[in-house]
Chain A
Amino acid sequence: QYLTKSVIFGTMEVKTSSNSVRFDKQRCSFIVLIMFFSLPAVNAVWPMPQLISSSTDRYPLSPRQFIFQYASGSSAKSGCSVIDSAFKRYFPLIFVDYLKKTEKHMYRTFSMQPMLNVYASIHLSFPFSVVDKLSVSSGQASLRAKTVWGALRGLESFSQLVYQDDFGQYFVNKTEIDDFPRFKFRGLLLDTSRHYLPLPAILKTLDAMSYNKFNVFHWHIVDDPSFPYQSSTFPGLSSKGAFHPSTHVYSQTDVSRVISHARLRGIRVLPEFDSPGHTQSWGKGQPGLLTSCYKGSVPSGTFGPVNPAMSSSYQFISRLFKEVASVFPDPYIHLGGDEVDFTCWKSNPEVRGFMQKMGFGTDYTKLESYYMENIINLTKTLNKTSIVWQDVFDNHEKVKETVLHIWKGSPAQIQQELSDITLAGYRVILSAPWYINHIAYGQDWTTYYNVQPLNFTGSEQQKSLVIGGEVCMWGEYVDATNLSPRLWPRASAAAERLWSDEKTTSSVTDAFPRLTDFRCRLLRRGIQAEPLFVGHCRHEYEGI
C-alpha cells in the first residue's frame, strides 16, 4: 500500500504578512495518552508530540507517486508562500535518497508496483488551537491546522514519521497525532558580535531550528566586540564598528534574507540591540554616544556605557530603533539592559552633575532605570514591545509592559527570580539553564533536558506568565567552525522540554535512544550534529 497524498485542510488563517506569534496567555489542558510500540522509528518524532498513537500497520510511500496537496476545504490554497515552499522543502526531507542519481533506478522499479490507497490523517493545530488531532489510517494522509504555522509543525512531524527499511523503501506507520507546544516562545540565541557568523551558518541554523520546532531566533546582533548590522540610517556604525566593513557585516539584503528564511519556517526573528552596556563597538561609529571615562579630572581615553545624561543619546537611539522597528517585522525588540558597569559613569563629571540634577544621589541604579525607562517608552511609541534581561527588574526599575528574560543564577536563585518576576505580573522567558556555550565533558544534554521551567513557588496565574525559554549560544568561543556541532543535538534537548509535555518526557533514559535517532536524522539532512555517545549513524557526516 502506498501513501500517495498528504492533504492539508481545515480552517487555515493564512498570515503571510508577518511571522508574528502572539504571546497569548491561553493555556491548553489535554489528557495526554502516549502509546509506545516497540517498532523503531514509530516514536521517532522529536520533540515528542503531546499525543501520539501509532499502530504496527505500516504503509509504503513511493517518492514517484507521493504528492502534497491542499485539501479542498482548506483556507490556505496554492499560492500560499509558506506552504508552497514547505511542500518543496519537505519532499526531499522525506525522501532523503530520492535526488541521488545512483538510487533513482531503485524507485523506477518500485513505481512499477500498483498504486494503493492509504489514508493517513494528521490533524494538527498550532499555535492558537483548541482542538489538536492527528491520525494515520488507510487512505491518504491529511494534516489539519488552524494556521500555516501549525501546518509547518505538522509537516515536520510527518517527515519524521517516515523511515526507510534495509532496502531503502520508505514507510510510515498508521499514526494519530494531536499536537501543540507547551510554551509559545521557544527560542535560540546566536551571537554575531563576538564572532561574525556568515549568512549560510545562520540559515543552516534556522533549518535545524525548524526540525526541532523552535520558533524564535533571538539575534544578538551587536555587542562590545563588533557591530555587524549595517544600518541605513547610521552606516558609520558598521563601517567603523564591524570587524571588517565589507566582509563582516549584515547588509539590509542579508537581514531580509534571514527574516524571510525564518518566516518560511515559522520562526520569528527577534533582534537584540543591547544597551546601555555592551556597546563598545557602537562608540566607534557614533562619537559622543558612549560615556567618556575619567581618570581623576581628565578623560582616560576609554569609554563606558551609553551616556545617559545626554539628550543626543536618546535622539540617536530613537532614530536607530525607528529603523530597527521597520526592518524587523516582529512586534518585539530585545533591549538588553544587562551588566551595566557603573564605574565609568561614576568617574564622569557630567554624569555626576546629571545625577545631582535628577536627585538620584549616588544610586546609579536610578540612572540606569532612567535610561531603560526612556528607551522602553521610546520602543513603545514604535508600536513594539520590549524584552529586557532580568537585571532591569533586579535593579527595581519601573518596567512596564516588558517581558523579562532570566539569564543567570543558581537553580535556587532562578526559581526565586521566576517567583518574584511573575508575582510582580511580568511575563518571563527563561534562559539561565540553557547557556549551551558552556561546554563540559560528557552527556551534558541531560542537564538541559531535566530542567523544569515551571518548578517554582507561585500560583497557576504566575506560571502562565512563563511564556517560554531560550537556548543561548554566546559567541566568545564559537564561530562558523564549531557552531553546528556545539548546538546540535544539545539544543534539541531544550527543544523537547519547551514543546512537549513534561510528564511524558521526564526520563533521560527514554529520551536517549530517541535523541540518538534524531541526531542521525539531523546528520542525514546535512546538519552537523555531534554524537551523544559511542556508536554510529547509517550515514555519517561526510564533511571535515
Chain B
Amino acid sequence: MSTVVFKLSGASFQIVDAKESSSGASCSLLQNAYRRYFEYIFPSARKQGHVKKKTPASAVSELQVWITSADTECDGFPNVTSDESYQLSVDSPVSVLKASTVWGALRGLETFSQLVYEGEYGAKSINRTEISDFPRFAHRGVLLDTSRHFLPIKVILANLEAMAWNKFNVFHWHIVDDPSFPYLSRTFPQLSQQGAFHPYTHVYTPSDVKMIIEFARLRGIRVVPEFDTPGHTQSWGKGQKDLLTPCYSGASPSGSFGPVNPILNTTYEFMSMFFKEVSTVFPDAYIHLGGDEVDFNCWKSNPDIQKFMEQQGFGTDYSKLESLYIQRILDIVSSTNKHYLIWQEVFDNGVKLKQDTVVNVWIGNKVEEELQKVTEAGFTTILSAPWYLDYISYGQDWQKYYLAEPLGFKGTDAQKKLVVGGEACLWGEYVDATNLTPRLWPRASAVAERLWSDKDVRDLNDAYSRLAQHRCRMVQRGIPAEPLFSGYCAYEYKGV
C-alpha cells in the first residue's frame, strides 16, 4: 500500500468485467456482487443518478474484474477445493481485480470495498495498493443452531452477509437437534409437523432452504447441513414412531426415549430415505452426520438391545453398537455420493471410518493431542474447539479466539496439511434472533482472520485497531456488531 491517494466518485465509479475476462453479463453472481459492493462503497449513492462524467486524473473510475480461468464457476457451487485467491491492483484511473474463478473475485471485491475510506470532506478515497491474497485454510465456517431456538430466515441471511464480509465460506447449519426439528422434509413432513416448535411459524420450508443456499452461493459460501444422530434426536421421535430407543425402568418401558434405535431395520430404511432427500436438497458435497454425545444408558436399559448386543458378541461395550450404527449411516450417506463430517467422539470411540471422513474436533481439553491423533490416523480434520462463541465472558474474549493456533500441535507437515480449517460455533441454548448478531460479531471476525490470514499475523494491538474499524464498518452496513471496548463509530447502529 502506498501513500498515493485516489478519489472515487459515486457518480462515475463503476465495477465492470474486464475485456479479457472469461466472465460476462450472463454471470449474475458477479453482476449482483458488483451492485452489492457498489452500494457498500457508496451507501448514499443509491438514489443519485449515475452519470458518466470525465473523472479527474487522481481518481479511480473503474474496477475491472478479470476472471482468468475458462471455467468461471459462475453457476456452480463453491467447494472445499475452490480457488479463492485473487490479485488486486488499485491504480488510477483503472483498478484491476484478477482471479481465476468467481470465488476469488468475491473475496477481492470485499477487500476492495474495505480499502475505500472516507477522506477529508467526506470524499471516498483509496490508496494505491497491490494485493495478492489467498486463504490459509480452505474450510472457514460458522455454525448456527436452529434447533434450540428457531432463527427466522432474515437473521440467517443477515449473518451470511456478515460472513462474506469476513471471508467465511462455510455455513454449518446445525438444523435439528433434541429441542426442535424445524427442517420441513418432503419425504417425512410429520418430522417438523410434530417436532418443530410450531409446524408453520417455526419451520424451514424447502423454498426457505433453497433461498438460503442460493443466497449463500452468491456470496461464495457453502451450506453444510448437519443431521446429528444417533444422539441429539429427541425431536425426531415425535414425528417418527419407533425411531428412538424406548428406555426401560426395570422391566417396563419408562415412557422416555433415548438415541436412535440401532437394532431395527426400519431405522435404516428411514435413514436411507431421509438422507436421500437431504442429499438432493443440499448441493454441497458434504453432510455433517454429528455422532456426538451418545448416552448409552437408555440402550443399556432396553432388553431388546441387550439381546442384540449378546447376539453380536459385543459384550457390554456399547461403543461397538454405536460403531455399528455409524458405519451403516456412513454407508447410506456414501451411497448418495456425499462425503461426510462427524464430531470427534466417533473417531475417539474407535468407530471404523472411511478414509475420506472429516473429523470435527470440538472438545475443549487436550485439543492438540486430539489433532495429533486424528491426523496421525490420516483423517482430514476441522477445528471448532477453541471457538465456541456461545461461551461468553466479561471483557475482550476475542483476543483468545484470535490467538488460537490451529497448527500448534506436534506433527509432520503431512499431518498439518490434513487440518483443512476451523469453525466458529454459536450454539443456541441462550441465543436467538434477539442476541445472535451482536454475540457473533465481531467475535467471529477474530476467528475469520485466524483462518484466512498468515499464521504470523497475530499482533493484538494491530488487530485491535483494525478490528474496531471493521466492526464499525459492519455497523454501517447494517449489522449490529457489538463494540470491542469503550469508543465510538462515526455511524452508530440505528436500530434499537
Contacts and interface: CB of A to CB of B under 8 A. Distances in A.
B121 interface: no
Contacts of B480: 480-482, 544
Interface of B, secondary structure class, is loop
A137 B433 CA distance: 40
B492 to A, nearest CB: 6
Interface residues of A, number: 47
A440 interface: yes
B106 interface: no
Nearest to B394: A438
B257 interface: no
Interface stretch (B51-59, B144-152, B352-360): B144-152
A200 B492 CA distance: 12
A542 B152 contact: yes
B183 to A, nearest CB: 15
Nearest to A536: B197
A441 B430 contact: yes
B158 interface: yes
Contacts of A79: none
B154 to A, nearest CB: 6
Contacts of B428: 534
B437 A534 contact: no
B179 A534 contact: yes
A391 interface: no
Interface hub of A201, A243, A438, A541 (most chain B Cβ within 10 A): A541
A226 interface: yes
Given A479-B482, A534-B149, A542 B154 contact: yes
A477 B395 contact: yes
Interface residues of B, number: 49
Nearest to A197: B492
Contact of A534 (B148, B394, B486, B490): B148
Contacts of A268: none
Nearest to B197: A536
B432 A531 contact: yes
B429 interface: yes
Interface stretch (B335-343, B385-393, B405-413): B385-393
A523 interface: yes
Given A243-B488, A531-B431, A440 B149 contact: no
Given A201-B496, A439-B393, A441-B392, A247 B430 contact: no
A101 interface: no
Contacts of B432: 530-531, 540-541
A58 interface: no
Contacts of A523: 434
A167 interface: no
B366 interface: no
Nearest to B396: A477
B7 to A, nearest CB: 23
Interface string B419-451: 000000000111111110111000000000000
B438 A194 contact: no
Contacts of A542: 152, 154, 433
Q: Is the interface of A mostly helix, strand, loop or mixed?
A: loop
A196 B489 CA distance: 9
A353 to B, nearest CB: 35
A195 B487 contact: yes
Contact of B496 (A200, A247, A437, A531): A200
Interface in B109-153: 148-150, 152
A484 interface: yes
A475 interface: yes
A479 B198 contact: no
B496 A528 contact: yes
Contact of A244 (B154, B179, B438, B488): B488
B483 A244 contact: no
A304 B492 CA distance: 30
Nearest to B482: A482
Given A247-B490, A530-B432, A535 B437 contact: no
B255 interface: no
Contact of A442 (B430, B484, B487, B494): B430
A532 B432 CA distance: 10
Nearest to A205: B496
B145 to A, nearest CB: 10
A194 B150 CA distance: 33
Given A204-B496, A225-B486, A485-B434, A536 B202 contact: yes
Interface in A183-233: 194-196, 198, 200-201, 203-204, 225-226
Contact of A479 (B391, B437, B483): B483
B96 interface: no
Contacts of B150: 536, 540
A432 to B, nearest CB: 15
Given A195-B487, A438-B394, A540-B150, A481 B475 contact: yes
Contacts of A244: 488, 490
Contacts of A194: 486
Interface string A421-463: 0000000000000000111111000000000000000000000
B467 interface: no
Nearest to B479: A544
Interface in B454-496: 475, 478-488, 490, 492-496
B155 interface: yes
Contacts of A203: 496
A440 B394 contact: yes
Interface string B368-397: 000000000000000000000011111100
A543 interface: yes
Interface string A459-478: 00000000000000001111
* Interface core residue of A247, A480, A481 (most chain B CB under 10 Å): A481
Contact of B390 (A196, A198, A441, A477): A441
A303 B495 CA distance: 36
B486 A475 contact: yes
B301 interface: no
B180 interface: yes
Given A441-B391, A543-B495, A530 B430 contact: yes
A248 interface: yes
B393 A440 contact: yes
Given A247-B490, A536-B180, A477 B483 contact: yes
Interface string B72-115: 00000000000000000000000000000000000000000000
A478 B486 CA distance: 8
A535 B202 CA distance: 11
Contacts of A247: 490, 492
B427 to A, nearest CB: 10
Contacts of B493: 198, 479-481
22 contacts: A198-B494, A200-B494, A243-B488, A244-B488, A475-B486, A476-B485, A477-B482, A477-B483, A480-B492, A481-B437, A481-B480, A481-B483, A482-B438, A482-B439, A485-B435, A530-B434, A531-B435, A532-B430, A534-B428, A540-B201, A544-B479, A544-B480
Interface of A: 194-196, 198, 200-201, 203-204, 225-226, 243-244, 247-248, 437-442, 475-482, 484-486, 523, 528-536, 538, 540-544
Given A479-B483, A543-B154, 14 more contacts: A194-B486, A195-B486, A244-B488, A477-B483, A480-B480, A480-B493, A484-B434, A528-B434, A531-B431, A535-B149, A538-B198, A540-B432, A544-B155, A544-B158
In the A-B complex, list the 3 residue pairs whose CB atoms are closest, starting with the nearest. A485-B435, A481-B480, A482-B438
